[in-house]
């Protein structure tokens, strides 16, 4: 049952994407603090772990061979090469969580987001953008996790990614000095999607009618 007293079907899948440096990590983290019931899909990656990252919490850090084995076993819902590393979404966790009625959030790059939509047409795609494109560079520089070359590559990819914005369901602007507004906007999207009538099976609605 949800707050409206209606029995709900499977959980909802929320995909937050957008260019590197737009603030996906920070915002999704803040959103999850606010909504502890929301499950997070941990991606597998061959990228080197950053000092502040923990295996199985931030990513499943795997070798190239392990990643290929996952591909052979069809264990990834989608995968992409990004900046010379491989990233992919484990299939089982999402399938199981949704079928158990849990909402799931994930944050792949843009092509990955579109691949998820192809597999799950009901997925809600949210495109996160900075208020000014030039802020991307500043954010990437400030976090000091990439070399200058890697930053240049990420900005090139960002330009390409912006071309796909119209294939998303929502746009959220992450203003440099007001990140709490973007968290609030994301939260509003999650809330509204819950109440869309097509998400309720007829049986749930009839059950209310006859109660």
H-assigned helices in 13-147? 24-34, 64-72, 91-99, 110-119, 134-143
Q: How far is the CB of 61 from ligand 5GP (least distance, A)?
A: 11
Q: How far is the CB of 126 from ligand 5GP (least distance, A)?
A: 12
Residues that bind ligand 5GP (CB under 6 A): 20, 24, 43, 47, 78, 80, 82, 87-89, 107-109, 112
Given a contact cutoff of 8 angstroms between Cβ atoms, the answer to whether 31 and 147 are in contact is no
Our measurement of the distance from residue 32's CA atom to the centroid of its chain's CA atoms, rounded to an integer in Å, reads 12
- Nearer to ligand 5GP by Cβ, of 87 and 168: the residue is 87
Q: b/e per residue, 95-112, with b = 16+ CB within 10 A?
A: eebbeeeebbbbbbbbbb
Burial of residue 153, with CB atoms counted within 10 A of its CB: 0-12 exposed, 13-18 middle, 19 or more buried: middle
User: Using CB atoms, what's the residue nearest to ligand 5GP?
Assistant: 112
- Nearer to ligand 5GP by Cβ, of 41 and 204: the residue is 41
Q: How far is the CB of 196 from ligand 5GP (least distance, A)?
A: 26
Residue showing tokens 């890697």: 150
- Nearer to ligand 5GP by Cβ, of 103 and 204: the residue is 103
- Nearer to ligand 5GP by Cβ, of 24 and 204: the residue is 24
Q: How far is the CB of 47 from ligand 5GP (least distance, A)?
A: 5
């Amino acid at each position: 049952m949800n707050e409206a007293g209606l029995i709900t079907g499977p959980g909802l899948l929320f995909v937050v994407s957008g260019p590197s440096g737009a603030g996906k990590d920070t915002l999704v983290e803040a959103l999850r603090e606010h909504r502890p019931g929301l499950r997070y899909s941990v991606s597998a990656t061959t990228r080197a772990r950053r000092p502040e990252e923990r295996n199985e919490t931030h990513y499943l850090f795997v070798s190239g061979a392990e990643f290929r084995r996952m591909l052979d076993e069809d264990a990834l819902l989608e995968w992409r090469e990004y900046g010379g590393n491989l990233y992919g979404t484990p299939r089982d966790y999402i399938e199981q969580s949704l079928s158990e009625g849990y909402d799931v959030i994930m944050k792949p790059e843009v092509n990955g987001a579109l691949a998820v939509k192809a597999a799950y047409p009901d997925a809600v795609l949210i495109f996160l953008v900075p208020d000014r494109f030039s802020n991307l560079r500043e954010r990437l520089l400030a976090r000091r996790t990439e070399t200058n070359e890697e930053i240049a590559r990420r900005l090139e990819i960002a330009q390409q990614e912006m071309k796909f914005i119209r294939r998303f369901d929502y746009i959220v602007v992450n203003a440099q000095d007001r990140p709490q507004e973007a968290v609030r906007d994301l939260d509003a999207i999650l809330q509204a999607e819950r109440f869309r009538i097509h998400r309720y099976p007829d049986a749930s609605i009839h059950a209310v009618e006859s109660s």
